[in-house]
Amino acid sequence: MKSREILLTLQGIKRLEEELIHLKTVRRREVAQRIKQALAFGDLSENAEYDEAKNEQAFIEGRIVSLENMLKNAKIIDDEDIQTDTVSVGCTVNLLDVEFDEIIEYTIVGSAEANPSENKISNESPVGKALLGKRVGDEVAVNAPDGVVPFKVLEIKK
């Protein structure tokens, strides 16, 4: 089965690589030390510290595998390839929220980089999907859980 392509910017690749290095070099050692200390307490059947450390170890190892797969299947979105005539992954878009008469700025990124608190939305999100391929001046109706939200594309930039 072919793995799904992961769209990442150069900044996103760097962030994931840094996280992977940190998990492999720092977090693995920390958890191994915690397991070693918990083993010193003896009876593993009632050793909460040991159970917690083993669970954390499993989480870290799972995240390492996930990051390695993301990086292996990454397609880099190069700034040079980003066009500003239509909305695409890597673009920053200024929108007018027609309902509230507010201007919102979003950067369209792949799902692995999405972070709504930084206004980075996934190309797979309802807003991201609706914006792809749109031009300045286009109006977009986004189906959201609260109903249809109207936006107007004001600016597309790198």
Counting residues of the chain whose pLDDT is more than 70, the rounded percentage is: 98
- Cα(111)–Cα(122) distance, rounded to whole angstroms? 5
> Which residues lie closer than 8 Å to 77 by C-beta, 6 or more apart?
7, 8, 9, 10, 89, 90, 109, 110
Tell me which H or E stretch contains 37: helix 28-40
Per-residue pLDDT, averaged over 132-146, amounts to 93
pLDDT band at 2 (very low <50, low <70, confident <90, very high): low
Helix %, strand %, coil % of the chain (to 5): 45, 25, 30
Per-residue pLDDT, averaged over 1-10, amounts to 79
Output the pLDDT for position 14.
94
How much is the mean pLDDT over the chain? 92
* Domains in the chain: ranges and CATH: 6-77 (1.10.287.180), 79-157 (3.10.50.30)
Mode of pairing for the β-strands spanning 6-9 and 74-77: parallel
Counting residues of the chain whose pLDDT is more than 90, the rounded percentage is: 75
- Report pLDDT digits (tens) over 26-84: 999 999 999 998 888 777 777 788 999 999 999 999 999 999 999 999 999 887 878 89
Per-residue pLDDT, averaged over 102-120, amounts to 94
Contact predicate 105/92, CB 8 Å? yes
Mode of pairing for the β-strands spanning 92-97 and 147-157: antiparallel
